[in-house]
Amino acid sequence: MGRRVLITGGAGFIGSHTCLVLLEAGYDLLVLDNFSNSSPEALTRVAAISSVSLNSTRLQIEHGDIRNPHTLDQLFSDAAANDRPFDAVIHFAGLKAVGESFQKPLLYWDVNVSGSRTLLAAMEAHACCTLVFSSSATVYGFPKDVPIPESAPIQPINPYGFSKAAVEQMLADLNASAPNTWRIACLRYFNPVGAHPSGQIGEDPLGFPNNLFPFVSQVAVGRRDQLQVFGSDWPTHDGTGVRDYIHVMDLADGHKAALDSLLKEGPQHLICNLGSGAGKSVLDVVNAYAAASGQNIPYALVDRRPGDAAITIADPTRAANTLSWRTKRTLSDICRDGWTWQQANPMGYRESA
């Protein structure tokens, strides 16, 4: 039997793509999700693409909340009782909207911080000490130097970023409390975008998209009239903001690399950027998406969005050296796959869910 992994938030955007990669690599998965920002349909499609049966030993689904200690205790106890303990946890579950985190800070501290604490307490109690955690480049705030190495100061600028930094600190404290016990990979993602090339799974934001890529996709497919480009006077090659966009399948491969490494190499506390090391502007994305889709992407140049940095780009050296992982897919691949998903599912999962 394969290694068994508990995936919190596995129905979400990054989680669903990672489930696919892990199933194909032979891992058995149990997904815990409360579906507050996702649809069970994503997992139905993951099962179909990877030819496994839903709720077989390969892919089980538990509808529940990471903040509920009884749910977690039951999952770990049942796993042990059935002689199928979890070898590791990948912890995606959380809230991620920067704007919402200003409106509902206590909710963000509750789900992202208390939820993580509850999960870690259950892991500790059941002696499951291998964890891959979804952190974010947002912990760097306004970076002084780009590309950004992991040694850059942690200086969040919004409640969401503080919640991720708090969990990173909790993991450091936990690791220090029991050296040579924990195997932790804290992955700081840059800007995850795109979709599985099948077009069967992808990003499905509820309501008005906060982020560039889903907005551009919805303009291309005719759901929105035009993109607003936030700022054209940034100190960049064309005046628009520059980011390190990473194909979600590259990110999923990065999780597999981190998990494999933790299971093979033993106790450690790894903190690692996952990004490409290349920066693309808003207009680079618009042009690449227009070329990939053959659609016109109307846009208007408007004021800067408060809280934005001019440029964020990962220094991906550590991931290359420690995980032998680097991105393989280009911006053009990202746009092609994102468009395949958007065209096949113009309303996301809702039409077929």
The CA-atom distances, in angstroms, between 293 and each of 174, 208, 248 are 47, 21, 19
Nearest to 129 by CA among 78, 76, 64: 76
Total Cβ atoms within 10 A of residue 349: 19
The item of ligand NAD, ligand WQD, none sharing an interface with residue 228, based on CB under 5 to 8 Å by kind, is ligand WQD
Give least dist CB 189 to ligand WQD, A: 6
Q: Is 245 a catalytic residue?
A: no
Q: In this structure, are residues 163 and 101 in contact, taking their beta carbons and an 8 Å threshold?
A: yes
Annotated active-site residue in 160, 189, 245, 289:
160
How far is residue 281's CA from residue 245's CA, in Å, rounded to a whole number?
10
The item of ligand NAD, ligand WQD, none sharing an interface with residue 35, based on CB under 5 to 8 Å by kind, is ligand NAD
Number of H helices, E strands in the chain: 12, 13
The item of ligand NAD, ligand WQD, none sharing an interface with residue 60, based on CB under 5 to 8 Å by kind, is none
Give least dist CB 111 to ligand NAD, A: 5
Total Cβ atoms within 10 A of residue 333: 18
Specify the residue, 301 or 311, whose C-beta has the smaller distance to ligand NAD.
311
Specify the residue, 3 or 67, whose C-beta has the smaller distance to ligand NAD.
67
The item of ligand WQD, ligand NAD, none sharing an interface with residue 34, based on CB under 5 to 8 Å by kind, is ligand NAD
* DSSP-derived secondary structure letter, 151: T
How far is residue 216's CA from residue 339's CA, in Å, rounded to a whole number?
10
Give least dist CB 34 to ligand WQD, A: 19
The item of ligand WQD, ligand NAD, none sharing an interface with residue 299, based on CB under 5 to 8 Å by kind, is none
Specify the residue, 38 or 44, whose C-beta has the smaller distance to ligand WQD.
38
The item of ligand WQD, ligand NAD, none sharing an interface with residue 93, based on CB under 5 to 8 Å by kind, is ligand NAD
Positions in the binding site for ligand NAD (CB under 6 A): 8-9, 11-15, 33-38, 65-67, 92-94, 96, 111, 115, 134, 136, 189, 192
Positions in the binding site for ligand WQD (CB under 6 A): 96, 98, 136, 138, 191, 210-212, 215, 227-230, 241, 243, 282, 305, 308
How far is residue 201's CA from residue 141's CA, in Å, rounded to a whole number?
30
SS3 188: strand
Give least dist CB 246 to ligand NAD, A: 9
Nearest to 7 by CA among 35, 39, 31, 36: 31
The item of ligand WQD, ligand NAD, none sharing an interface with residue 101, based on CB under 5 to 8 Å by kind, is none
Report the alpha-carbon angle 9-164-99, nearest 5: 85
Give least dist CB 1 to ligand NAD, A: 26
Give least dist CB 31 to ligand NAD, A: 9
Q: Which residue has the tokens 């869910």?
A: 353
Q: Which two tokens stand for residue 45?
A: 């499609």
Give least dist CB 59 to ligand WQD, A: 26
Q: In this structure, are residues 203 and 343 in contact, taking their beta carbons and an 8 Å threshold?
A: no
> Helical H runs in the chain?
13-24, 40-49, 69-81, 98-103, 105-108, 115-125, 159-177, 212-220, 248-265, 282-293, 317-323, 331-344
Q: Which two tokens stand for residue 40?
A: 């069970």
- Residues acting as catalytic residues: 160
